[in-house]
């Protein structure tokens, strides 16, 4: 087990500085353009791939860093550059995490490299969980997966929504219901390989923020995938379903759960295993946005003169900046703690992963709003980046578990009561 340190080592600092340079020199100059275009910034993803930033090897190195802070450092720097472009670059990792959390070693080795492609032929991947009638309530998923034993194939039917890279992805990871009677415990994840017939893109969403990141519906119409595309394999699924049916017969509920990261509270649910593993990383993204807005506001307050003096000389402005900085640093500490715990297989006994995502997401919204206020009328215009940062921050109390769901997870975990 590594020791939790607030002083990153030389290797981590080098990665941080490298990513900061890419964010400052490549992402920021292009941020406003791609936000306006609302299109996937393929040239920037390709440049990131050429440099080794968009690659399985890079994210694997950060993911398996024993300190636990490799991924948070990377996410914070990229999203300091721009959230929309940042999500376009890292959106594939959610699908990769789904394979890492639920798949076998062979499946990880087969599918994870295909999600990224090569610098000359860049690919993206999509994780498809939410549905038009099932967002926070993952037990309500209607997408079905039926096994065709004669052909050793799974047949998938349904519609997914809010899928990052949905429809444009090379590899899609789809959460589907295998046994509807078991609710969330009757679900599994499936890889849909490139070019599989029956998978198509539905509507592409025009969003309030993170507009350089592609978000769309994914329609599954008689999609057939080989049996080996069931993440974890058939034997593991059958064992899990048998346990769930036995518990259901005994009238035993799922309970809040207090397992380790990627396990705690998920009860073996495929979607929850993915979200729990990714929550601290999502929190780090929010911190990057908040830090960027804070820095703009601090610089503006130092140089903006009103009534004969810089506005930072006023306590009302100075104290707000003090609170902004304090909340950002507190959020980072929560994210680093949860990330270190996950890297060292420490159980989230108080839902530390959800804590980190909740506080970081709310911090990003509050800090960017304060930054707009400090800039006054300028903050409301697109001449300054804080209005875009404020729009981008809004999603962090919504996706990968709303703030209300995070509070529910935390409350259930600390109380041991199935609070509703």
State mean pLDDT over 86-92.
98
d(CA 204, CA 81) in angstroms, rounded, equals 24
41 or 249, higher pLDDT: 41
For the chain, the average pLDDT equals 93
Q: How many CA atoms lie within 13 A of 267 on its CB side?
A: 22
Nearest to 145 by CA among 183, 181, 188: 188
> Is residue 229's pLDDT more than 50?
yes
| CATH superfamily label, 10-122 | Acyl-CoA dehydrogenase/oxidase, N-terminal domain (1.10.540.10)
d(CA 176, CA 102) in angstroms, rounded, equals 13
| CATH superfamily label, 270-415 | Butyryl-CoA Dehydrogenase, subunit A, domain 3 (1.20.140.10)
> Is residue 35's pLDDT more than 80?
yes
What SS3 class is residue 272? helix
Which residues are catalytic, by number? 400
Helices 386-393 and 352-375 cross at an angle (nearest 10°) of: 150
158 or 2, higher pLDDT: 158
Q: How many CA atoms lie within 13 A of 230 on its CB side?
A: 23
d(CA 64, CA 143) in angstroms, rounded, equals 33
How would you class 53 by CB atoms within 10 Å of its CB: exposed for 0-12, middle for 13-18, buried for 19 or more?
buried
**What does the pLDDT read at residue 140?**
82
**What does the pLDDT read at residue 255?**
45
d(CA 383, CA 207) in angstroms, rounded, equals 20
d(CA 167, CA 135) in angstroms, rounded, equals 19
Tokens of 262: 């990627």
Looking at the chain, the number of H-run helices and the number of E-run strands are: 14, 11
Q: Is there a contact between 140 and 67 (Cβ–Cβ < 8 Å)?
A: no
**What does the pLDDT read at residue 248?**
85
Using alpha carbons only, how large is the chain's radius of gyration in Å? 22
**What does the pLDDT read at residue 270?**
56
**What does the pLDDT read at residue 138?**
75
Q: In which band, very low, low, confident or very high, does the pLDDT at 264 lie, cut at 50, 70 and 90?
A: very low
What value, to the nearest 5°, has the Cα angle with vertex 163 and ends 184 and 46? 135
> Is residue 262's pLDDT more than 70?
no
Q: How far apart are the first and last CA of the chain?
A: 36
DSSP class of 49 = H
**What does the pLDDT read at residue 272?**
59
DSSP class of 23 = I
The number of angstroms, rounded, from the C-alpha of 34 to the middle of its chain's C-alpha atoms is 20
The structure tokens 């992963």 sit at 353
**What does the pLDDT read at residue 263?**
37
Residues 279-317 pLDDT 10s: 999 999 999 999 999 999 999 999 999 999 999 999 999
**What does the pLDDT read at residue 372?**
98
Q: Give the dihedral sign, CA 367/368/372/378.
A: positive
State mean pLDDT over 143-164.
97
Q: In which band, very low, low, confident or very high, does the pLDDT at 49 lie, cut at 50, 70 and 90?
A: very high
d(CA 240, CA 234) in angstroms, rounded, equals 10
Query: CA-CA distances (angstroms) from residue 54 to 163, 274, 329?
Result: 19, 20, 27
Q: In which band, very low, low, confident or very high, does the pLDDT at 1 lie, cut at 50, 70 and 90?
A: confident
Nearest to 225 by CA among 145, 159, 168: 145
203 or 1, higher pLDDT: 203
Tokens of 266: 């998920």
State mean pLDDT over 146-168.
97
d(CA 146, CA 157) in angstroms, rounded, equals 9
With a CB cutoff of 8 Å and minimum separation 6, the contacts of 85 are 27, 30, 31, 34, 41, 44, 212, 213
> Is residue 257's pLDDT more than 50?
no
CB burial string 281-291: b at 16+ within 10 A, e below: bbbbbbbbbbb
Q: Taking the domains of the chain in order of start, what are their residue ranges?
A: 10-122, 125-249, 270-415
| CATH superfamily label, 125-249 | Butyryl-CoA Dehydrogenase, subunit A, domain 2 (2.40.110.10)
The number of angstroms, rounded, from the C-alpha of 235 to the middle of its chain's C-alpha atoms is 29
With a CB cutoff of 8 Å and minimum separation 6, the contacts of 3 are none
Residues 374-394 pLDDT 10s: 999 999 999 999 999 999 999
Nearest to 292 by CA among 372, 383, 218: 372
> Is residue 352's pLDDT more than 50?
yes
Residues 54-79 pLDDT 10s: 999 999 999 888 889 999 999 999 99
């Amino acid at each position: 087990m590594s020791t939790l340190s607030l002083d990153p080592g030389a290797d981590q600092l080098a990665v941080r500085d490298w990513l900061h340079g890419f964010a400052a020199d490549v992402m920021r100059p292009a941020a406003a353009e791609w936000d306006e275009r609302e299109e996937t910034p393929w040239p920037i993803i390709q440049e990131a791939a050429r440099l080794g930033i968009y690659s399985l090897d890079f994210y694997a190195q950060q993911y398996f860093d024993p300190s636990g802070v490799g991924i948070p450092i990377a996410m914070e720097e990229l999203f300091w550059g721009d959230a929309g472009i940042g999500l376009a670059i890292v959106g594939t990792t959610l699908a990769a995490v789904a394979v890492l959390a639920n798949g076998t070693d062979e499946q990880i080795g087969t599918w994870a490299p295909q999600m990224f492609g090569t610098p000359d032929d860049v690919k993206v991947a999509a994780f498809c969980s939410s549905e038009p009638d099932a967002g926070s309530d993952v037990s309500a998923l209607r997408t079905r997966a039926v096994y065709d034993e004669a052909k050793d194939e799974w047949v998938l039917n349904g519609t997914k929504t809010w899928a990052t890279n949905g429809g444009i992805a090379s590899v899609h990871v789809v959460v589907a219901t295998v046994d509807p009677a078991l609710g969330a415990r009757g679900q599994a994840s499936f890889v849909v390989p490139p070019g599989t017939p029956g998978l198509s893109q539905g509507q592409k969403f025009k969003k309030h923020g993170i507009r350089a990141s592609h978000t769309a519906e994914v329609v599954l119409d008689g999609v057939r995938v080989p049996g080996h595309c069931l993440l974890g394999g058939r034997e593991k699924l059958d064992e899990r379903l048998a346990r769930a049916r036995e518990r259901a017969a005994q009238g035993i509920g799922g309970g809040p759960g207090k397992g380790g990261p990627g396990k705690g509270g998920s009860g073996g649910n495929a979607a929850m295993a993915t979200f729990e593993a990714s929550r601290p990383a999502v929190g780090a993204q929010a911190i990057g946005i908040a830090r960027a807005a804070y820095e703009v506001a601090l610089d503006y307050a130092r140089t903006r003169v009103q009534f004969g003096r810089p506005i930072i000389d006023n306590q009302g402005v100075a104290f707000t900046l003090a609170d902004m900085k304090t909340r950002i640093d507190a959020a980072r500490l929560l994210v680093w703690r949860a990330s270190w715990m996950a890297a060292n297989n420490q159980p989230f006994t108080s839902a530390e992963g959800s804590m980190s995502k909740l506080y970081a997401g709310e911090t990003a919204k509050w800090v960017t709003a304060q930054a707009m206020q400090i800039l006054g009328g300028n903050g409301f215009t697109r001449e300054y980046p804080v209005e875009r940062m404020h729009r981008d921050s809004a999603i962090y109390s919504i996706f990968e578990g709303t703030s209300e769901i995070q509070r529910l997870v935390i409350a259930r975990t600390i109380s041991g009561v199935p609070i509703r």
